[in-house]
A = this chain, B = another copy of it.
Amino acid sequence: MISIINLEDKIKEISGKPFSPIEVARVNDQVVRMALTEGEFHWHRHTNEDELFYVIKGEITIQLRNQPNIILHEGEMTVIPKGIEHCPKSLEPSYILLFEPYKLMTIGD
């Protein structure tokens, strides 16, 4: 059975739970996850995996060590390369998609 995933429905599932990604879709050995971002996460890195951030609602700032922050608005994405320490934060409740290997641990290694 091939199912249709509606992102507005997924948004309803994660309201009130910031930085707790849920699985949206599995594709090959990858996964699309959705997270509510609100406030600040913690500094972390993924040793072996790049991580794609895509803002579907709101705005997110990805803080980086020794380089300028990345500010993403709705409809914008970026890829944080493996090994780069980062710390996401959002002033207002925002919703992002993450495209990443299934084995990636959102909290960092």
Contacts and interface: CB of A to CB of B under 8 A. Distances in A.
B79 A2 contact: yes
B28 A77 contact: no
Contact of A77 (B5, B49, B52, B76): B5
Interface residues of A, number: 35
Interface in A1-57: 2-8, 24-28, 30, 32, 49-52, 56
Given A30-B99, A99-B99, A25 B77 contact: yes
A50 B28 contact: yes
- Count of this chain's copies in the oligomeric assembly: 2
* Overall SS of chain A's interface: strand
Contact of A2 (B7, B24, B70): B70
Interface of A: 2-8, 24-28, 30, 32, 49-52, 56, 64, 67, 70-72, 75-81, 84, 99-101
24 contacts: A2-B70, A2-B78, A2-B81, A2-B84, A4-B71, A4-B72, A4-B78, A5-B76, A5-B78, A6-B75, A7-B76, A7-B77, A8-B75, A25-B77, A25-B78, A25-B79, A27-B50, A27-B52, A27-B99, A28-B50, A28-B101, A32-B77, A32-B99, A99-B99
